A and B are shown apart, each in its own frame.
Chain A
Amino acid sequence: MTAISPISGATPAPDLSVLTVQNLTVSVTTEMGAKPLVRDLSFTLKRGEVLAIAGESGSGKSITALAIMGLLPPNVAITDGGVRLGEIAISKLPEHQMRALRGDRIAMIFQEPMTSLNPVMTIGAQLVEAIRAHTVTSRAQARLRALEALRAVRLSQPERRLDQFAHELSGGMRQRVMIAMALALRPQVLIADEPTTALDVTVQREVLDLLRDLQRDLGTAIILITHDMGVVAEMADRVIVMQNGAMVEQAATRTLFAQPQAPYTQALLSAVPRMGSPARPAPDGAIVADLTDVSVRFAMRGGVLGRVSHQVHAVEQVSLQIRKGETFALVGESGCGKSTIAKAIVGLVPHSGRITIGERALSDLDSAGRKDLRRQVQMVFQDPMAALDPRMRVGDLVSEPLLIHGIGDAALRRAKAAELFTRVGLSADQIDRYPHEFSGGQRQRICIARALALNPQLVIADESVSALDVSVQARVLDLLRALQREFGVAYLFISHDMAVVENIADRVAVMYLGQIVETGTRAQVFTNPQHPYTQRLIAAVPIPDPTHIRPPVARLSGDVPSPVHPLGQGPLKLHLTDIGQGHLVAR
């Protein structure tokens, strides 16, 4: 079976609303009184329809979902308006009556499949429990229904899965279990809160296809909450765009993408990274970082004496060169080894093979030499809040690298911090504040300023824009490009997001199971992908264009092979062949 049309084919019959939200206002109680999180929101959900609620973080979209489900946190409550499910005013129901509807007539799936299942109960027990909470059936019968539900979500080996625990399943499999659990009792309404955000792009593709197929077969109305306009374009019939707790626009999906009315919607759509940006000449400077046959293996121990029995081949004989002033992107899905390469370059994990930064090889240096080398290589991480010590002033954080390397005195370091702040688009008088006083995008700018403090030759950006809203993401990417022009710094840009990579990279390497399967300039890899895995990755990216017709792609099956091998054995080494002008593809 292949999914072809991105838009649900059957037009829902008019005025068959299953869910009505009327003037909904949700507020949080704070020390300074009630603060509204969602303001005066009204919409209806028709039978069999997919309604997307799109918006950036803090727009109130998730709170709306929890308010509908009656699962608001203790200090948050509906302060005005209400929610009706058919004829029932569910927002006014006492808890025990609402509980009877929850999971039965209205169900929900969440963003984090890794943590949304109970780790100490089997998958089967959790499904059976959901079924038996609302229907009078024997345990054995409920188990049969659970099995049927797992089959419906196309989970491989469903009988075996029933007796497995969540940690034995991959993220995509867990999200299928969540969907099976939510749809086992055929609810009228399914609320999917960022259902694919935490998943790899090829897994996201499968889960989106699955949701659409189930929606077509069962006629469930879906409220799809997402920040990803590509997902909206592919899944939704109608879209509500929210900002700061209020609806700014509501329209049919095609209309919204073709003629966005509200300025905010226009800004949001223009910030979305799209594939197909114009080609740039690749810089041809000196080599800053040179990796030759770099491998990183982790030992797995067993037996009485704790001897090494197996090895995780995280990175396997990877060779690449990064040149001055260029952006080299490493792409691949979780577990492919892209972040491990970054750690090897900065010396956080031991490696074999040769890593040369500038003129010097990492393995030839003593600890003082390695410390000195770290001045040349700095990192910017994914989560800026976790990367900044909450008890230090941001100016001290930015100038700390200077302190560590004994550069300048206190006054000079402070001046340097102030200068860097203005360079990354912040104000120099903010340097005495603390990280929590900044927004997510500003915090990432602080991290970038810190990385630039030592004038490094290479900055490793490990998923540095993945946690940011698209409009913020676009501005941070602009900043990175501007800083590159100004300082001539090279970036090793690690990302799972093909659209972002396509926007910023000069050269690209695609990784799979610890090895590079394809590498070349951005144009070579994106316009002429040769390796099947590259093709699959690119094809899986949701396109923010509802008129785009997705070409039929064979549905992926099977699991990713394991990078764990017994001692003395290893994966087959892939040989890269040049198919023209440095475009290397594994055969």
Chain B
Amino acid sequence: MASYLLRRLIQSALILLGVAFITFFLLYILPADPVRQIAGRSASAQTVENIRRELGLDQPFVVQFLRYLWGLLHGDFGRSYLQKTQVAELIASRLPATLLLMAAGIACELALGITMGIVAALTKGRFADQVLMMTSFVTVSAPQFVVSLILLYIFAVQLSWFPVGGYGTFRHLVLPAVTLGILGSGWYARMMRSSMIEVLATDFIRTARAKGLTRSRVILRHALPNAILPVIAMIGIDIGVFMGGVVVVESVFAWPGIGQLAWQAIQRIDIPIIMAVTLVSAVAIVLGNLLADLITPFIDPRIKIR
């Protein structure tokens, strides 16, 4: 177990290094100039050069990247170009909001998706199945901002059940979390449905029925734990896609998380913030995968961690 964790952590560090390199490189070759963004259109060539030297952006790529890495190793994410504050502080102040939204969003997405998948599998080929699969298809293909705006319009503007945006109370959380949940539920519904149908056709389900167990026990105790295994593996992988949704939803609902921060930073090419948000997301994805792999053996005894 310890050696497994050690191996996985070494792998994770290498993955993060790769992510840092690729992101840094892409930002470097980007034709837009961050210094122009800082200095403004009317700044003189001399001012621009001064700022460039000040930020170290006149150095070759390798030097810039190694400097950045050196800072990272000392816990220094750099300073935001525009807000002039420490990026670490910005992230720290915004991360709790995002983590809260992610947790709530993933909970909604799993609750919706798994329930829809189970119901669809049990009514395979019948009306309820077709309606649910149609719904899941719509949620998978609908753009994030459209779903956000529709929910916002109905439940915040028209019905006034929830606030239009902002952060602070449970009521603020509901709409963004549900939006994320609906958006992600389609994948899980489809996956859960096919996994459940497969498990329901297995020999051990027939054995469970031959024992005279009730239908609910056959489904909940025998089918569900087996059917949910691929879904758990999916959660870890899905966090990356989920982060994309978080950026959009945070912007629409004025949720003060790192997604909103990223959105603003990308518009202004605020490289230190973009780097930090990317790395934080990458850490979330890597940890999510590790967590999924660590949970699986508790559900499936055939899988052993070595």
Whether the Cβ atoms of A100 and B212 lie closer than 8 Å is: yes
For the complex, is A69 an interface residue (Cβ under 8 Å from B)?
yes
Residues of B with C-beta under 8 A to A575:
none
Residues of A with C-beta under 8 A to B217:
129, 133
Q: Which of A71, A108, A118 contacts B226 (CB 8 A)?
A: A118
Q: Which of A69, A112, A167 contacts B302 (CB 8 A)?
A: A167
Whether the Cβ atoms of B222 and A304 lie closer than 8 Å is: no
Whether the Cβ atoms of A116 and B212 lie closer than 8 Å is: no
Are A129 and B211 CB-contacts (below 8 A) given A112-B203, A165-B301?
yes
Residues of A with C-beta under 8 A to B214:
99, 133
CA distance A95 to B218 in the complex (A): 14
Q: Which of A107, A108, A112, A121 contacts B222 (CB 8 A)?
A: A121
Are A108 and B210 CB-contacts (below 8 A) given A165-B301, A302-B306?
yes
Residues of A with C-beta under 8 A to B226:
118-120
Whether the Cβ atoms of A178 and B204 lie closer than 8 Å is: no
CA distance A130 to B208 in the complex (A): 8
Write the A178-211 contact mask toward B (1 if CB under 8 angstroms, else 0). Answer: 1001100000000000000000000000000000
Are A134 and B207 CB-contacts (below 8 A) given A118-B222, A120-B225, A167-B301?
no
For the complex, is B202 an interface residue (Cβ under 8 Å from A)?
yes
Whether the Cβ atoms of B202 and A115 lie closer than 8 Å is: yes
Are A103 and B212 CB-contacts (below 8 A) given A110-B206, A118-B204, A304-B7?
yes
For the complex, is A564 an interface residue (Cβ under 8 Å from B)?
no
Residues of B with C-beta under 8 A to A108:
210
For the complex, is A117 an interface residue (Cβ under 8 Å from B)?
yes
Residues of B with C-beta under 8 A to A102:
209-212
CB under 8 Å from chain B, chain A span 56-71: 69, 71
CA distance A391 to B88 in the complex (A): 58
CA distance A134 to B212 in the complex (A): 8
CA distance A303 to B3 in the complex (A): 6
Residues of A with C-beta under 8 A to B207:
110, 116-118, 178, 181
For the complex, is B300 an interface residue (Cβ under 8 Å from A)?
yes
Instruction: Output the least CB separation between A22 and chain B (Å).
Output: 23
CA distance A104 to B211 in the complex (A): 7
Residues of B with C-beta under 8 A to A118:
204, 207-208, 222, 226
Whether the Cβ atoms of A120 and B203 lie closer than 8 Å is: no
Instruction: Output the least CB separation between A395 and chain B (Å).
Output: 34
Instruction: Output the least CB separation between A320 and chain B (Å).
Output: 36
Q: Which of A165, A181, A302, A306 contacts B211 (CB 8 A)?
A: A181
Whether the Cβ atoms of B211 and A103 lie closer than 8 Å is: yes
Instruction: Output the least CB separation between B233 and chain A (Å).
Output: 15
CA distance A108 to B206 in the complex (A): 10
CA distance A100 to B202 in the complex (A): 22
CA distance A130 to B207 in the complex (A): 10
Nearest-neighbor residue (CB-CB) of B208 within chain A: A118
Residues of B with C-beta under 8 A to A95:
215
Instruction: Output the least CB separation between B285 and chain A (Å).
Output: 23
CA distance A101 to B209 in the complex (A): 11
Nearest-neighbor residue (CB-CB) of B226 within chain A: A120
Nearest-neighbor residue (CB-CB) of B222 within chain A: A118
For the complex, is B213 an interface residue (Cβ under 8 Å from A)?
yes
CA distance A9 to B213 in the complex (A): 35
CA distance A314 to B111 in the complex (A): 47
Whether the Cβ atoms of A107 and B204 lie closer than 8 Å is: no
CA distance A101 to B213 in the complex (A): 10
Residues of A with C-beta under 8 A to B30:
none
Instruction: Output the least CB separation between A110 and chain B (Å).
Output: 6
CA distance A129 to B214 in the complex (A): 11
Instruction: Output the least CB separation between A92 and chain B (Å).
Output: 18
Whether the Cβ atoms of B204 and A117 lie closer than 8 Å is: yes
Residues of B with C-beta under 8 A to A117:
204, 207
Residues of B with C-beta under 8 A to A165:
301-302
Residues of A with C-beta under 8 A to B295:
none
The count of residues in chain B whose C-beta lies closer than 8 Å to any C-beta of chain A is 26
Are A115 and B203 CB-contacts (below 8 A) given A167-B301, A167-B302?
yes
Whether the Cβ atoms of B203 and A101 lie closer than 8 Å is: no
Instruction: Output the least CB separation between A202 and chain B (Å).
Output: 24
Write the B1-22 contact mask toward A (1 if CB under 8 angstroms, else 0). Answer: 0010011000000000000000
CA distance A12 to B301 in the complex (A): 45
Residues of A with C-beta under 8 A to B142:
none
Residues of B with C-beta under 8 A to A112:
203
Residues of B with C-beta under 8 A to A69:
210
Residues of A with C-beta under 8 A to B3:
303-304
CB under 8 Å from chain B, chain A span 144-180: 165, 167, 178
Whether the Cβ atoms of B225 and A116 lie closer than 8 Å is: no
CA distance A306 to B209 in the complex (A): 42
For the complex, is B299 an interface residue (Cβ under 8 Å from A)?
yes
Whether the Cβ atoms of A120 and B306 lie closer than 8 Å is: no
Residues of A with C-beta under 8 A to B209:
71, 102
CA distance A120 to B6 in the complex (A): 27
Are A107 and B301 CB-contacts (below 8 A) given A120-B226, A303-B3?
no
Whether the Cβ atoms of B204 and A115 lie closer than 8 Å is: yes
Instruction: Output the least CB separation between A355 and chain B (Å).
Output: 33
Whether the Cβ atoms of A103 and B210 lie closer than 8 Å is: yes
Nearest-neighbor residue (CB-CB) of A113 within chain B: B203
Whether the Cβ atoms of A129 and B204 lie closer than 8 Å is: no
Whether the Cβ atoms of B210 and A71 lie closer than 8 Å is: yes
Residues of A with C-beta under 8 A to B301:
119-120, 165, 167
CA distance A167 to B306 in the complex (A): 17
Write the B172-213 contact mask toward A (1 if CB under 8 angstroms, else 0). Answer: 000000000000000000000000000000111011111111
CA distance A119 to B213 in the complex (A): 17
Whether the Cβ atoms of A119 and B300 lie closer than 8 Å is: yes
Residues of A with C-beta under 8 A to B300:
119-120
Write the B71-108 contact mask toward A (1 if CB under 8 angstroms, else 0). Answer: 00000000000000000000000000000000000000
Residues of A with C-beta under 8 A to B208:
118
Whether the Cβ atoms of B211 and A116 lie closer than 8 Å is: no
CA distance A567 to B37 in the complex (A): 63
Residues of B with C-beta under 8 A to A110:
203, 206-207, 210
Residues of B with C-beta under 8 A to A115:
202-204
Nearest-neighbor residue (CB-CB) of A101 within chain B: B212
Nearest-neighbor residue (CB-CB) of B302 within chain A: A167
Nearest-neighbor residue (CB-CB) of A117 within chain B: B204
Q: Which of B6, B203, B215, B221 contacts A116 (CB 8 A)?
A: B203
Write the A102-140 contact mask toward B (1 if CB under 8 angstroms, else 0). Answer: 111001101010011111110000000110011000000
Residues of A with C-beta under 8 A to B203:
110, 112, 115-116
Whether the Cβ atoms of A133 and B204 lie closer than 8 Å is: no
CB under 8 Å from chain A, chain B span 135-154: none
Whether the Cβ atoms of A107 and B302 lie closer than 8 Å is: no
CA distance A102 to B212 in the complex (A): 5
Whether the Cβ atoms of A133 and B213 lie closer than 8 Å is: yes
Instruction: Output the least CB separation between B221 and chain A (Å).
Output: 8
7 smallest CB-CB distances across A and B, nearest first, come from: A103-B212, A102-B212, A103-B211, A115-B203, A304-B3, A130-B211, A165-B301
Q: Other CB < 8 Å A-B pairs besides A71-B206, A100-B212, A104-B212, 20 of them?
A: A101-B212, A102-B209, A103-B210, A103-B213, A110-B206, A110-B207, A110-B210, A115-B202, A116-B204, A118-B208, A118-B226, A119-B302, A120-B301, A130-B213, A133-B214, A134-B212, A165-B301, A167-B301, A182-B210, A304-B3
Instruction: Please name 8 pairs of A and B residues whose Cβ atoms are closer than 8 Å in the assembled complex, sorted by A.
Output: A107-B210, A115-B203, A118-B207, A129-B211, A130-B211, A133-B212, A133-B213, A306-B7
List residues of chain B with CB under 8 Å of any chain A CB. 3, 6-7, 202-204, 206-215, 217, 221-222, 225-226, 299-302, 306
List residues of chain A with CB under 8 Å of any chain B CB. 69, 71, 95, 99-104, 107-108, 110, 112, 115-121, 129-130, 133-134, 165, 167, 178, 181-182, 302-304, 306
